[in-house]
Structure 1
């Protein structure tokens, strides 16, 4: 059997500089996805979606190892975030008005016929050119970083936002103190 693949090491878009913004080209990637709406801290839907994703991700990982002789590290949890009024996302932080898609990246050799869950879908995401940075700290402290990304860096580089705000959770919030959480903040852009 070949070595276990760690996509965080293999895919450059899973690395970001801390304290500055970088423009990156993200390849098309395949994800397990589940959609929801509402405050991730108080509403049950977010916890239920997370609980639904992980068993499917590990089931596919073990099926890949057993049936295809291809082993990999299950990548981190990720989320797409948006609101009908983006001010409620970046400035007001009214989490009750947020929409989200929770995701776990899945290798392209995993096919839809391997998926047995009806609650989770397998879908490609094409983000292309993006701006991203590594945020270290509480999720609630992201707003000033996002404001600088959206209102300063993106316009200063003759870019405009497209797509949905994307977060990659490099830390497990159940095991890491809020001030030490490591999260890649990503925004798809175009010229």
Structure 2
């Protein structure tokens, strides 16, 4: 049974667009509602091989749910993107790029009907392929007020954009970070050129001071 407190993004196209199709070129503010996710925590610096392994585990674990969603939605089905969150116990270590002190989490949003029990059943169905890999957990997550922007291009451009976000935009607007920094990857980097990569940068915020 779907949790009525959650937004069904397959039905609420306006919210889907607000969350996953923000404008490029300028920061915008969005209120992110409670959404269900399959979540796995990563350990150590978020290097590409370790991140790729966790993402592969996530997609494998939720394959039966994706298959059922595709069957239910038909041509309206859209593959949910991978989302990564990054933070540090001392956010100065995050800002300074001390990656050995970062924490990170990979997550993929689920349909509202895919509750905790359905995720557990999906993992059980795929245990043969998952081997000893950790099972993702189900979480209902509400980020609340966030600032976000869509970046199209190579990841080498991200530090300058983040410097603009944290060093200029947030202070000017009287805002401060209020949760982990969040990236959403809208396409598969293995299949697109760096100049075509699409990444949503999202930062939960609150009033500064």
Q: Are 2:108 and 1:104 aligned?
A: yes
| RMSD after superposition | 2.3
Among 13, 16, 27, the alignment partner of 2:19 is 13
Q: CA deviation at 1:86?
A: 3.0
1:51 to 49, 56, 78: 56
Deviation, structure 1 residue 106: 0.5
177, 180, 184: which one aligns with 1:161: 177
- The Cα of 1:153 is off from its aligned counterpart by 0.8
Q: Deviations over 1:13-65 (max 9, x none)?
A: 111111210011111111110001333335x4322211110122321122456
Aligned length: 183
Contact 1:8 1:14 in 2 (8 A): no
In 2, Cα distance between the equivalents of 1:144 and 1:8?
A: 32
Query: What is the TM-score with the length of structure 1 in the denominator?
Result: 0.84
User: For residue 77 of structure 1, what is the aligned residue in structure 2?
Assistant: 82
3-state DSSP of counterpart to 1:115? helix
> Offset at 1:151?
1.8
Structure 1 portions without partners, runs of 5+: none
TM-score, with structure 2 as normaliser = 0.77
> Do the aligned residues in 2 keep the contact of 1:7 with 1:73 (CA within 8 Å)?
no
- Work out the CA distance in 2 between the residues paired with 1:120 and 1:82: 19
Label 1:34 to 1:13 Cα distance change in 2 as closer, same or farther (>3 A): same
Please list every run of 5 or more consecutive structure 2 residues that lacks an aligned counterpart in the other structure: 1-9, 124-133
Change (3 A) 1:139 1:88: farther
Is the Cα contact below 8 Å between 1:58 and 1:74 reproduced in 2? no
CA distance in 2, matches of 1:49, 1:174: 16
